[in-house]
Amino acid sequence: MAWGRRGAATRQAEIERALRRALRAAVAGDWPAAETWLERLVEADSADLDAYHALARLYRDQGAIGRAIRMHQNLLLRGDLTTDQRGEALVELARDFEAGGFRERAIASYEEALATSPRDAGLLARLVSLWHGQGDFERALVLLRRLRRRDRPEADRLESRILLDQARTRADEGDHDGARQALKRCLRRDAGCAAAWAMMGELEAERGRDARALKAWTRAVASDGDLGATLYPKIGATFAARGKSEGYEAYLRDRLEARPTDRATRLALARALVARGDERAARELLARGVERTPEQLTLHVELGRLLIASGQEAESLKAYASLLDALANEPSQGGAGEAGGRGPGGEARS
């Protein structure tokens, strides 16, 4: 389109037409057409930064990261940008770098933008997340203090994640004292962080502090019941090591009373009953679970095994017939399993 040879009125009409066509194409999801019309808009009016950014974002969204980067870099070379316009271009360039996996260059662009907008909570949050992703926890936490003055809820949410990952890194490096300190800070910020409690239990168990480990693990399960499948064996072993196996059974009964459809708790209690020789009570417990939640397939399997072990072949056949019925009623899409999907350790959630 020969924009330069047209009169001003005609040229403006063509620009408006290109804008409408670009909008219609974008609404229809016709991205090649939208790209074509946006390119014409930018060619016709390089001062229209909205069109400029829209085209660069379209390149980015379509995976043409290099083209988006070049557009924003060229834009930043211009001397007619206001401070706000330059800041917007820097942020868009940083997003291009992020999309391309260039984290260090993204950080540099965000920090340059932050220098002109030091109170921008969005920029602070993005930088905190990027430094976190780079494993520079201290730098992330320093910026987090600035973010807390602007957006406390977001800062609190990010801090617990950063401290938890810092603890994991320190533990992997053998710095268990440092890991515990990071976990304590995490739990002061978020007392319900189940992953932090679970890890604290591991660290305390390694130190031979069974009582503290037990307290941490039970706090983890109380915060996130889906951790039960992973932590119940450790909790049971710790009760047994302290000579309080009956306390484990009582603990599980309290949990099951509070969450009667919790498959992991019911299975753990049934196994505890078998361990102390009360297989009949275990079978009754599992049978009630099958009746209450027939979709929980593991209960059918566990009940069938107990019935076979006790020589009750006819009853075990009934249990497995019920299992087949439950399998026939399973959803066929999306890899559906027991209700709630898969929990920690590959266990199906109740």
Per-residue pLDDT, 291: 84
Distance in angstroms (rounded) separating the CA atoms of residues 177 and 75 = 50
Spatial separation of the C-alpha atoms in residues 301 and 286, rounded to whole Å? 10
Q: What is the pLDDT of residues 49-77, one digit of tens each?
A: 887 788 788 888 888 899 899 989 988 99
Tens of pLDDT, residue by residue over 314-339, are 665 565 556 666 666 665 444 434 54
CA 253 to chain centre: 31
Task: Strands of 79-235 (E only): list them.
Answer: none
CA distance 303 to 319: 7
The predicted-structure confidence for 199-252, as pLDDT tens digits, reads as follows: 999 999 999 999 999 999 999 999 999 999 999 999 999 999 988 989 999 999
Of 13-27, 111-125, 140-154, 206-220, which gets the smallest average pLDDT? Answer: 13-27
Q: Read off the pLDDT of residues 84-95 as tens digits, 9 standing for 90 and up.
A: 999 999 999 999
Instruction: Name the band, by pLDDT with cuts 50, 70 and 90, for residue 300.
Output: confident
Locus of tokens 């921008």: 120
How does pLDDT run across 266-296, given as a tens digit for each residue?
Answer: 999 999 999 989 989 998 999 899 888 888 8
Please give the average per-residue pLDDT across 178-184, as a whole number: 96
Average pLDDT, the chain: 83
